[in-house]
């Protein structure tokens, strides 16, 4: 079984991207610290693909015994809402639901300028383990690759009721 599975579901007529992370199975050593860092792709309409990556780890700077960090503990059911996102935890399974239409998509810095979302939440949740308080931080990246760039709005320079393609004449960027 994959440690991160991405898919779609419908919720009240809206498309929701669902990420299911098996934190217990995917917990491992990441550059000297324990955590979860996995990626999955899910096809989308018109030859596009969503690339989804989730990274969860104990917050840096905490002094916690190595023995407690070597495996991800099982949780009682937990529900968290951040803006339009929802997170639910049951045992060691983290489910993230992202409504696609409610997000602020920004272009990536690569030449293709794919639409993307980046979220960093520290702490996302806390857990007491043998008398030690462990806070978990989460990073998530979602990128849409392919010809569909519908989530990023086209920018125009508006002037006098219509759009100036290439800028305003007084900017001296056009020859008449």
- Going by the DSSP 8-state scheme, the letter that residue 141 receives in this structure is E
| pTM of the predicted model as reported, rounded to 2 decimal places | 0.76
pLDDT tens profile 73-98: 887 888 888 878 889 999 889 999 99
Question: Range with the lowest mean pLDDT among 53-62, 97-106, 125-134, 161-170?
Answer: 161-170
pLDDT tens profile 111-132: 777 888 888 888 888 888 777 7
Is 18:7 a contact under the CB 8 Å cutoff?
Answer: yes
Average pLDDT over residues 40-55: 89
Residue 140 burial class via C-beta count within 10 angstroms: exposed 0-12, middle 13-18, buried 19 and up = buried
């Amino acid at each position: 079984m994959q440690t991160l599975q991405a898919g779609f579901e419908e919720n009240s007529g809206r498309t929701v991207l669902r990420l299911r992370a098996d934190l217990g199975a995917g917990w491992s050593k990441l550059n000297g610290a324990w955590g979860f860092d996995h990626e999955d792709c899910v096809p989308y309409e018109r030859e596009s693909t969503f690339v989804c990556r989730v990274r969860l780890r104990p917050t840096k700077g905490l002094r916690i015994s190595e023995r407690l960090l070597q495996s991800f503990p099982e949780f009682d059911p937990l529900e968290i809402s951040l803006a339009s996102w929802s997170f639910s935890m049951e045992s060691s399974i983290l489910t993230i639901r992202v409504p696609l239409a409610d997000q602020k998509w920004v272009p990536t810095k690569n030449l293709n300028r794919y639409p993307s979302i980046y979220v960093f939440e520290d702490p996302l949740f806390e857990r007491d383990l043998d008398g030690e308080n462990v806070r978990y931080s989460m990073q998530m990246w979602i990128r849409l690759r392919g010809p569909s760039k519908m989530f990023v709005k086209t920018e125009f320079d508006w002037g006098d009721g219509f759009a100036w393609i290439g800028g305003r004449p007084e900017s001296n960027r056009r020859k008449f």
